[in-house]
A and B are shown apart, each in its own frame.
Chain A
């Protein structure tokens, strides 16, 4: 998996994460969140990171974003070591992170303003991005006037406004309802193809990761390690109908198997045993309450 690093890099946006380890706390309270994880994203590639909750996938992303420093290992984008957050890496968060006091357009302009771009240029860029997101008519609204899907679309184009090389997305559609999610996934693939940007996408939704990605990393339960790397051979552009094809279904089955083992491993041993035995409830001498 690390062999890919020797490949020639033409475009920008190469994420290289090597042997990352993250531990929280010290001595007796030490918790190993991530252990020896190595991932990479080629320029223009769409890569998902999937795993049970609490497996450290968000920790990996926040290391690439620069919010957090790893205990071991190194992370770099285009050969440059990551030390702090920066506008070369756009981030889309799970929670809505638009500034409620700024209009939609001013939100999209924010990164450009920080970069010292003059007002008239900011305006043009922001408006064209909002047009792309289909939200130009809402440019003067405040975020609180919009639905969750709209907010997340603005969150995506806001992250793209400073022309970053990579886009980091931390379960961006996790808070949306299923119908909106599906639409958002298609919008995202369109945007991704237009910008030819590298994407690192965190999710726990198997179908979502297959539909969007070129490649998927599966993480183990804590301590998080890379358990498997799966290529998604489905052709582009992806369409909603593809989710019914046998190739898609097979991938879903494969990933489900991998994830299920880890989800069970992440649970308490008593529950895990019951889970593996198909929840054939065995009630102990003191009743069901005993296991808790």
Chain B
């Protein structure tokens, strides 16, 4: 990511806010990023290694603040601030216009709730339990969904066998599985993990299948005439070729997994963030409801952020793919 973003800086020198120091930075960045840039001649490397000074680091950081990024950050900040202000004024004046702010806790009350429970073991334990359920359900969904998706995508007979079942089960939302899951699994924990798994499984499976189908046939032919047999073709050509779609499936699957998990925790749960939120409602502890919601939001955001990061690390070539915006 580092080299890529510095390459972007070079690509738009007119965007630099401080053109004078940026030149130096750009020259340094060229030396670092040269393997990534085909059209630049190999830069003459400085024979004397320059020492890293704080000034240069600060300059480098400043050079990355282009106008474009600045505007993006500004707009993002404004929209979040607007949301908070709406919440703040809504609760402060207890607005009532069809929706009612009468019982909604103020931001300060929620903050107080956080400082009260934030360090309590119960709150952290609930988070840990939810994260563990997500990780287990998601990991199982990947372990089954990706290989099965590759097999269904590659072999027509496997597809003929599995797809009817997939098509029947797919439209059933994970939440509808809750009663069945409680009956099916020996304990509560297993049934919640199962529901999380169901939520993540279908997006991962279907995107993997789609990834195999959209793989350019010439790459498979190329792999075969370079001596790849079936197994190696799957591992060395079809899997990496499908990775972009698989990661789309992981991102979507992670979102659905959270939805399913929270619903399952609310209905059948002991512990977990969903349970925490629902329990707060039962105990008429309104600030804790909002705290639970915000916690879910942050956890979901963190999970999709991690997936995106892993995707960037595992698929560095996508930065150069036609139409890439990265």
Task: Summarize B's interface: helix, strand, loop or mixed.
Answer: helix
Q: Cα distance A158–B229 when bound, in Å?
A: 18
Q: Are A67 and B221 CB-contacts (below 8 A) given A110-B236, A111-B227, A158-B226?
A: yes
Task: Tell which of A67, A115, A141, A144 touches B227, judged by Cβ atoms closer than 8 Å.
Answer: A115
Check if A248 is an interface residue, CB within 8 A of chain B: no
Q: How far is the CB of A133 from chain B (nearest CB, A)?
A: 15
Q: Does A91 contact B (CB under 8 A)?
A: yes
Contact in complex: A144, B321 (CB < 8 Å): yes
Across the two chains, which residue of chain B brings its CB closest to A109? B226
* B216 lies within 8 A of A144 (CB): no
A42 on the interface (CB 8 Å rule)?
Answer: no
Contact of A100 with B321 at beta-carbon distance under 8 Å, contacts A85-B224, A111-B226, A111-B227 already known: yes
Complex interface residues of chain B between 211 and 248 (CB less than 8 A to chain A): 216, 218-219, 221-229, 232, 236-237, 240-241, 243
- Minimal beta-carbon separation of A134 from chain B (angstroms): 14
* B222–A141 CB distance below 8 A: no
Chain A, Cβ-Cβ closest to B222:
A97
Interface positions, chain B 36-53, Cβ under 8 Å from A, are 36-38, 42
A162 neighbours in B (Cβ, 8 Å): 226-227
Interface residue A83 (Cβ < 8 Å from any Cβ of B): no
Residues of A within 8 A of B241 (CB): 99, 101
Q: Is the CB of A89 within 8 A of B321?
A: no
Interface string of A86-122 (1 = CB under 8 A from B): 1101110101011111100000001101110000000
Convert A3-38 into 0s and 1s, putting 1 for each residue whose CB lies closer than 8 angstroms to a CB of B.
000000000000000000000000000000000000
Contacts of A193 in B (CB 8 A): none
| B84 contacts partner chain A, Cβ-Cβ < 8 Å | no
Contact (Cβ within 8 A) B226 A110: yes
Specify which chain A residues have a CB less than 8 angstroms from the CB of B315 in the assembled complex: 101
A291 to B113, CA, bound (A): 81
Q: Which of B188-221 contact A (CB under 8 A)?
A: 216, 218-219, 221
A156 in the interface (beta carbon within 8 A) = no
User: Across the two chains, which residue of chain B brings its CB closest to A93?
Assistant: B218
A114 touching B35 by the CB < 8 A rule?
no
Chain B interface: which size bin? 20 to 34
Q: Tell me if A145 is interfacial: C-beta within 8 Å of chain B.
A: yes
Task: State in angstroms the CA–CA spacing of A282 and B38 once bound together.
Answer: 55
Chain A neighbourhood of B164, CB < 8 A = none
In the bound complex, do residue A145 and residue B221 qualify as a contact, i.e. CB atoms below 8 Å apart?
Answer: no
Q: Is the CB of B216 within 8 A of A95?
A: yes
Contacts of B317 in A (CB 8 A): 100-102, 142-144
Within 8 Å by CB of A114, from B226, B240, B321, lies B226
The B-contacting residues of A in range 248-269, CB under 8 angstroms, are none
Does A66 reach chain B (CB closer than 8 Å)?
yes
**Which residues A118-174 have CB closer than 8 A to chain B?**
137-138, 140-146, 158-159, 162
A142 adjacent to B320 (CB under 8 Å) = yes
Q: Please determine whether B236 and A86 come into contact, CB atoms closer than 8 angstroms.
A: no
Given contacts A95-B218, A100-B317, A145-B320, contact A140 B35 (CB under 8 A): yes
